Amino acid sequence: MTDLDSLAQAINGCVDCGLARSRTHAVPGEGSPQARLMFIGEGPGFNEDQQGRPFIGPAGQFLDELLASIGLARSEVFITNMVKCRPPNNRDPFPGEMEACSKYLDAQIEAIKPKVIVPLGRHALAKWFPGESIGKVRAKARRFGDITLFPLYHPAAALHNGALRSTILDDFAKLGDLLRAPAPVPEATSAEAAPAPAESGPQSEQLSMF
């Protein structure tokens, strides 16, 4: 059993916040345990709650399309959410729910050790960049220790606002550029909530993703 399997077991039995009462299934996340690229959304929706798998509804289908646009398959990355259980009626997760659930995400990051983390949308963004606007910091790489953060709009944004679809595709193309030919990534200068940077190499260190 891997660390991720143990975490999934713990998540599936977790009752540490009120979302445990309304969920059908917890959604720990899925993908490669050796993924170099990790996507973090907000929380499971209706379809995800029904099946216990992340990003399988319309937003997930768009995410698959976005991954394919940069030559990646879902099995090559790891996909999870800030909270592992569905907020009722798809409301925003409460701060206390995200706080209660953060231990699982932190442990997943520790187990997988991704090179690049893509926060999808403002809730995931706030874990590293509290108070910043997703519209302003999207598709810009910043480095925390050994990890590069590359925030993007949540794919669901394109379902609510069709004009964002081409923007998100363009932003994913920039992510593909970063993975293929990484340029130096500046160290983050804000984000009080950011985890302490680990020992790291020079700022010009390349990601060497694939």
What is the closest distance, in whole angstroms, from the C-beta atom of residue 30 to ligand SF4 in the complex?
15
Nearer to ligand SF4, 81 or 148 (CB): 81
* Residue 141 and residue 152 in contact, taking contact as beta carbons nearer than 8 Å: no
Distance CA 73, CA 97 (A): 30
Q: Which is nearer to ligand SF4, 86 or 138 (CB)?
A: 86
Contacts of residue 191, Cβ cutoff 8 Å, sequence gap at least 6? 128, 129, 130, 132, 144
Q: Which residue has the tokens 């768009």?
A: 62
- The amino acid that residue 210 corresponds to is F
Token pair 């609510």: residue: 160
Q: Which helix (H) or strand (E) holds 123?
A: helix 122-128
Cβ at position 100, least distance to ligand SF4 in Å = 4
Return the number of the residue (56 or 72) whose C-beta is nearest ligand SF4.
56
Cβ neighbors of 82 (< 8 A, separation 6 or more) are: 40, 41, 42, 43, 93, 98, 101, 102, 105, 123, 124, 127
Residues that bind ligand SF4 (CB under 6 A): 11, 14-17, 19-20, 26, 83-85, 97, 100-101
Residue among 163, 160, 83, 156 at smallest CA distance from 126: 83
- Smallest gap from Cβ 112 to ligand SF4, in A, equals 18
Q: How far is the CB of 123 from ligand SF4 (least distance, A)?
A: 13
Helix (H, G, I), strand (E, B) or coil at 80: strand
Cβ closest to ligand SF4, residue 1 vs residue 15: 15
To ligand SF4, the closest distance from the beta carbon of 50 in angstroms equals 15
Cβ closest to ligand SF4, residue 7 vs residue 207: 7
What is the nearest approach in angstroms of ligand SF4 to the Cβ of residue 76?
A: 25
The pair phi, psi for residue 3, each rounded to 5°, is -55, -40
- Which is nearer to ligand SF4, 5 or 187 (by Cβ)? 5
